[in-house]
Structure 1
Amino acid sequence: MAMDLEQTLNFTVVVPYSKPVFSLFWLPPQKCASYEYCSITSQRLSSFAICLFVSLGIFLVKTKFINIFTKSKNVPSLPPGPSPWPLVGNVLEMWRNRPAYRWINRFMKELDTDIACICLGKTNVITVNSPEIAREFFKKYDAVFASRPLTVNTGIFSRGFLATIVTPMGNQWKKMRRVLIHDVFNRSKMQWMLQKRNEEADNLIRYIHNLSYNGGSAGQVVNVRTAAQHYTGNVMRKMMFNRRFYGKGSEDGGPGVEEEEHLSALFTLLLHIYAFSVVDYLPWMRVFDLDEHEKKVSEAMEVLKKYQEVIVNERVQQWREGKKIEAEDLLDIFITLKDEDGEPLLSNDEIKAQITEIFLATVDNPSNAAEWALSEMLNQPEQLEKAVEELDRVVGKDKLVQEHDIPNLPYITACLREAFRLHPISPFNVPHLSVSDCIVAGYFIPKGSHVLLSRLELGRNPKVWEDPLRFDPERHLKDGVATQQVSLAEPELRFITFTTGRRSCLGSWLGTTMSVMLLARLVQGFTWSMPPGVEKIDLIEADSLLLKDTPLHAHAKPRLPASVYPMN
């Protein structure tokens, strides 16, 4: 059949004698005299047209037959959505209305629905805006929707699905999940890493103090995004590789060129690995890479390999040669894990893939939430004052906040919950794949569907949240009073932090700790105010990753005694 189709589509490029221009237009035989060769005959063109129309007819008949069959069996309909075109579904609309999430949110509002179905090629993409429906998917039917779709870019970045987050259900996922639960994110390992996290929390204060004190006692304007992302990157480099910098860093304690390039590559991956790419729904279009997602992901991976693989390869060799006998970081843990036969449990590629996933899972949300929270609090100074008062009362001014203080900082935690609710870093959660047909919310969800929870619309759903576009931390406190312990987790899926079920975030404790420590250290260590000439911080979102469109620049002035700040 493939050969027949190849013969049917045997187009030969038509080249005029006079011009080096390629022509793909068929000309009747009587008009081909001025051409060297014309192989597309009217007979072959007719065959191609017949083949196309027969395929289209089969598709339409098949679709109609399925619809009639399912109705006769009293199977519920698919969720509402835009009418698809034959063969390509709604890919053209998706391509034309970028970014796709705005188009999806818009037509869901027009249809007045909390669940929709978009047909992209042969794939049904189910989008959900309602916590109740979300809980039905991922609590009641968690086993059905616990797998992941295979996409071009996730395959590249996970080295063929060797890690955890994007790997479909199966033995590989179970193996890597066990490693993370028992050997990485357990209580003893996290306590073992406490000193490394403390060093980077201190370095955050040192870095900003160096920047702000350069302006004298009056302080200085600081790029908060750079500081926040530098902190999250440092924490993971220290825990993973026992080092802060890939190079020498900068003189003020901030990131060097190497760290900035590494972090930029991570955020490029975050932007593209689950973007709505045409080739994920129309695989035959991969050769064209129309949106260049594959190219950008491949380039970002080369940057990560340049910095990470050298360290991994060198460390593996050290253990093999007996030059290293004691584990100092998570990389050592991965390398020294053994199977039942005493052989290395993880291959080098598995280690490298899992390291990349851990970096991706930890650098984005804490830094994004802290930047948005401080931006909103600067526009509502009374909230910033409450956060400062809580820190002064719980921790005092003669020492820096520590991880053991976190349970006693409900208002700071509530500010972060509100940032996660109102300003998620991405429009949707990581997609889930249905492994069998299922009925959810009264609709038929076919096997192979991709299920997406809208982070943006869940957190801003007016049926759930009063005045949803207002940043109000007190909505997360009982009667608005910051007395009880508050968690960043949201198991009821009214907004998304660490999700729930089999695919919930395994590093939720670490994510919470990094987020709270980052915001708490920023608020405790410095008096923040508007930059000169600015009356209000803009709250405009970027189009794709929902970072603040422009980095937050705010005036920072040291507020604690000089002896409290870590020395250079």
Structure 2
Amino acid sequence: MGHYTLREHDHTHNMDETHLFFIYVLSLFSLVYLFKLLIHKKGRNIPPSPPSLPIIGHLHLINGPIHRVLQHLASKYGPLMALRFGSRPVLVISSPSAVEECFTKNDIILANRPNLLSGRYLNYNRTALGSAPYGPLWREMRRIMTLELFSTARLKHYMGVRQDEVRLLIKDLLMGLFQDFSTVEMRSRIQGLTFNIIMNIIADKRIYGTEVEDFKEAKVFKDVIREIFEVSGTSNPADFISCLRLIDFQGFEKRLLDLHKKSDNFTRNLIEKCKRKRIGADTKKEKAKTFIDAMLSLQESEPGYYTNDLIKANVLTLLLAGTDTSSVTIEWAMSLLLNHPNVLEKARSHIDEYVGNERLVQETDIPSLPYIQCIVNETLRLFPSVPLLVPHEPSEDCTIGGFDVARGTIVLVNAWAIHRDPSVWDDPLSFKPERFEKVANEGYRFVPFGMGRRQCPGAGMANRVIWLALASLIQCFEWERVGEEMVGLSEGKGLTMPKDEPLKAMCRARQKMSHVLMDL
């Protein structure tokens, strides 16, 4: 018994030594951190900042939707605010004038992206357009994307794809809706619309709906995309506290690796199928039909540069950036219209007046229906699909708003806060599409797609998809809320700020459009 007590004493003694050693290491880290912080601040004019903690900096303050947390902090510390996420300095911008300075005077300096762990696994070592460092690779991918997808000619070329998918959405909603109102769930239908449009453009395939060729492949795709959105909407502390990478904190890196394998397998299969289709086809006589076709044509001339990994990285980026952003905006817009039936009726009256009831609304009607665009803009103002713009990182020291910003700082533009600032917008929390009738260009106070050379290149395509879907739903159907309560506008979790609850609505085919709808 005495021997056991002695061993227990030794064990307790060892535990005490371990505990003391841990405290010693933590204290040493804290002292080094504070010393570096003091040296960094000395002689520099940095923006106001909340009190921080050793090691973690201000990470403990991010305990809710980050765009809301940052807006609340900015209301205390100003529209240019310095934070520190672990070892990484962060600048939060909530001012149109500072946004303008960033993307005019400092546009080239701020053209880099932070090097985050997700970029290694999901963007193939940052070779995708969205995450690539500013330089030759980024310029080449931007040129290809513009030429093959987002130029005026290519947008026109793919107009038929967008209109066909919108017609299929209308056809799907029509089932059983001619007689009376029925409850319909909208989120899955809207997501199917945007994914099918992008997949058609990328690989001439449909993933959602009854006309899917390979249901097993479609299920794999949906599961992969869902997981990527979940991971993308989760901050990784190891990106800011480097020692956490050594232990793979919360298993985040393992999850990214597993997800990379799944997405790599899916995109590889897409490319292989496109390659097989090209065998025997005369690819020199006609314009590339899909984005993958265009990339494979470039690969044939420069296989060392246009590798399969480069193609996969940019295919995955298009699938992520070109789908969820549009679908959440359509869902927010329909929710707002259901809560404001007067706006819905005004929009429908405009469509009836300028398009009539003898045909479906088309993209070519956009110039004749500016009020629909006002609704789209007002939705993007209140609920920007990316509330915090994709982070920027200065390649050298610079000044913004009179403050010194060090190279390597993560620069976050809080578009959500700017869009709801009462000093910038009149009655900012109200849904008033008419506010966009007055000014053609809202400048740096309206930035749903970013600004400068790293702004979203697909804004034109996204706008066409959102506009056409919204106008078609308004023209073809009558809409009412389910019950007396207003549609909830709570925000869910995720990078693209979806609605917390999927939208459900009462829907009925319009009698005036019945003969057109029957033809579908």
- TM-score normalised by structure 1 residue count: 0.82
What secondary structure does 2:479 align onto? strand
Distance in 1 separating the partners of 2:484 and 2:514: 28
Question: Any conservation in 2 of the 1:250–1:256 contact (CA below 8 Å)?
Answer: no
Amino acid corresponding to residue 542 of structure 1 in structure 2: G
1:33, 1:516 → 2: CA distance? 73
Instruction: Please give the residue correspondences for 1:396-407 in structure 2 after superposition, counting only pairs within 5 Å.
Output: 396-407=356-367
**2:295 pairs with 323, 334, 337, which one?**
334
Aligned equivalent of 2:272:
313
* Distance in 1 between residues matched to 2:464 and 2:493, nearest whole Å: 28
1:281 aligns with 2:228: no
Going from structure 1 to structure 2, the CA distance change for 1:538 and 1:91 (only over 3 Å counts) comes to closer
- The one of 106, 109, 125 equivalent to 2:75 is 109
Is residue 2:404 matched to residue 1:439?
Answer: no
Q: Would the alpha carbon gap of residues 390 and 119 (structure 1) be closer, same or farther in structure 2, given more than 3 Å must change?
A: same
Q: Would the aligned equivalents of 2:166 and 2:468 in 1 still touch at CA under 8 Å?
A: yes
Q: Are the equivalent residues in 1 in contact too, given 2:29–2:55 (CA < 8 A)?
A: no
Unaligned ranges ≥5, structure 1: 1-16, 19-29, 480-485
Cα distance in 1 for partners of 2:20, 2:153 equals 71
Q: Deviations over 1:215-257 (max 9, x none)?
A: 55113211122221111111111111112237xx438x99968
Name the counterpart of 1:64: 38
Amino acid at match of 1:190: L
How many pairs align? 513
- Which among 319, 322, 335 is matched to residue 362 of structure 1? 322
Q: Please state if 1:128 is matched with 2:82.
A: no
User: Residues 378 and 299 of structure 1: is their aligned pair in 2 closer, same or farther, counting only changes over 3 Å?
Assistant: farther
Q: Deviations over 1:410-463 (max 9, x none)?
A: 111100101100012333110000111111112111110011111221111111
- Measure the CA separation in 2 of the matches of 1:551 and 1:418: 20
* Paired position in structure 1 for 2:418: 458
Quote the residue 1:226 is aligned against.
188
The structure-2 alpha-carbon separation of the partners of 1:192 and 1:52, relative to structure 1 and needing over 3 Å to count, comes to closer
Residue 200 of structure 1 pairs with residue 133 of structure 2: no
Look up the match of 2:332. Answer: 372
Instruction: Return the offset for 1:358.
Output: 0.9
The 1-side partners of 2:137 and 2:418 are apart by 32
Which of 172, 186, 190 is the matching residue for 2:137?
172
Bigger-Rg structure (1/2):
1
Counterpart pick for 1:349 among 309, 312, 327:
309
Q: 1:547 to 1:293 in 2, by over 3 A?
A: farther
Q: What is the one-letter code of the residue matched to 1:146?
A: A
Name 1:395's counterpart in structure 2.
355
Judge conservation of contact 2:181–2:507 (CA < 8 Å) in 1: yes
The structure richer in helix per residue is 2
* CA distance 1:347–1:385, change in 2 (3 Å): same
Answer whether contact 1:337 1:344 (CA < 8 A) is retained.
no
Give, in whole Å, the separation in 1 of the partners of 2:123 and 2:456.
17
Q: Share of identical aligned residues, percent?
A: 27
- Is residue 528 of structure 1 aligned with residue 479 of structure 2? yes
**Deviation, structure 1 residue 103:** 2.9
Question: Deviation at 1:311?
Answer: 1.9
1:538 alignment partner, SS class: coil
Question: What do residues 70-102 of structure 1 show as CA deviations (whole Å, max 9, x unaligned)?
Answer: 1xxxx42x21122223333223443xx244443
Following TM superposition, by how much is the alpha carbon of 1:385 offset from its aligned partner in structure 2, in angstroms?
0.6
Q: Tell me the SS of whatever aligns to 1:127.
A: strand
Letter in 2 for 1:456: W
Q: Does the 8 Å contact 2:195/2:207 carry over to 1? A: no
Query: Is this contact kept in 2: 1:427–1:546, CA < 8 A?
Result: yes
Letter of the 1:314 partner, please give it.
K
Q: In 2, are the aligned partners of 1:318 and 1:324 still within 8 Å (CA)?
A: no
The answer for the alignment partner of 2:517 in structure 1 is 565
Distance in 2, Cα, partners of 1:427 & 1:347? 33
Q: Is the 8 A contact 1:153 1:274 kept in 2?
A: no
**1:37 and 1:221, CA in 2 relative to 1: closer, same or farther beyond 3 A?**
closer
Report the AA paired with residue 517 of structure 1. L
Check whether the contact 2:112–2:395 (CA below 8 A) recurs between aligned residues.
yes
Distance in 1, Cα, partners of 2:501 & 2:118: 27
Deviations 1:236-281 (A, max 9, x none): 11111112237xx438x99968646634643543453364320110
What's the C-alpha RMSD, in Å, of the aligned pairs?
3.1
Q: 1:394, 1:408 within 8 Å by CA — same for their partners in 2?
A: yes
Query: Which of 179, 184, 196 is the equivalent residue of 1:217?
Result: 179
Against the structure 1 CA distance between its residues 170 and 277, is the aligned structure 2 distance closer, same or farther, given a 3 Å change threshold? same
Structure 1 counterpart of 2:370, which letter?
P
Q: Give secondary structure in 2 for the equivalent of 1:406.
A: helix
Residue in structure 1 matching 2:106, options 141, 160, 166: 141
**Contact kept in structure 1, 2:187 and 2:503, CA below 8 Å:** yes
Q: Would you say the 8 A contact 2:299–2:307 is kept in 1?
A: no
> Does the CA contact (< 8 Å) of 1:206 and 1:567 recur in 2?
no
- 1:367-405 CA distance string (max 9 Å, x none): 212211121111111100111011111211111111111
Change (3 A) 1:524 1:261: farther
Q: Following the alignment from structure 1 to structure 2, what is the Cα–Cα distance between the partners of residues 307 and 65?
A: 49
CA–CA separation in structure 2 for the residues paired with 1:204 and 1:313: 29
Deviation at 1:305, TM superposition (A): 4.0
Deviations 1:198-221 (A, max 9, x none): 2212111111112xxx25511321
TM-score (norm 2): 0.89
**Other structure's SS at 1:221 match:** strand
Q: Could you say which structure has the greater relative contact order, defined with CA pairs below 8 angstroms and 6 or more residues apart?
A: 2
Unaligned runs of 5+ in 2: none
Q: Is the 8 A contact 1:233 1:263 kept in 2?
A: no
- How far off is 1:316 after superposition? 2.6
